[in-house]
Structure 1
Amino acid sequence: MGIVWVIIIAVLALIGGVALGFFIARRYMMNYLKKNPPINEQMLRTMMMQMGQKPSQKKINQMMRSMNNQQNK
């Protein structure tokens, strides 16, 4: 009878640990994305202007598409 309780407690601890880990990881990622937002078109345009390039909308769209393709891989 004692081994059954050990197994039940182990399973409950495992489920609790997985749930707690999920919520901690979710909170960490939300804070990370708030502090470091993903690059958008305006940021890309600013970076290109700082590098001395005159960004056209076609070039920006092409770079955004290539960045999205890299993220999806």
Structure 2
Amino acid sequence: MNLVLGIVLIIVALIGGTVLGFFLARQYMMKYLKENPPINEQMIRVMMAQMGRKPSEKQVRQMMQQMNKLQDK
């Protein structure tokens, strides 16, 4: 009886730890990406320059707004 109870508790602890670890890792990554967005204004300027365009400040800000909208969804 004690052996069965011990095995069940170990299995429940493993499943609980896995679920808790998943949600903690997900929360950490969401916070990290919010604080450190993958694309910034300088990257947009470089990307547009590589395409042969000289972007205005208005265009860069519009692109950043669009990227932020996509990130929030």
Length-normalised TM-score, structure 1: 0.63
Alignment: residue pair count? 64
Q: 1:18 offset after TM fit, Å?
A: 3.7
Match of 1:7 in 2: 8
Work out the percentage of aligned pairs sharing the same amino acid: 53
Q: CA RMSD in A?
A: 2.7
SS at match of 2:52: coil
**Does residue 68 of structure 2 align to residue 65 of structure 1?**
no
How far, CA to CA, are the matches of 1:44 and 1:17 in structure 2? 38
Q: Which amino acid aligns with 2:58?
A: K
How far, CA to CA, are the matches of 2:9 and 2:57 in structure 1? 60
Q: Which amino acid aligns with 1:54?
A: K
How far, CA to CA, are the matches of 1:6 and 1:71 in structure 2? 43
Q: 1:19 offset after TM fit, Å?
A: 5.0
Q: 1:16 offset after TM fit, Å?
A: 3.4
Unaligned runs of 5+ in 1: none
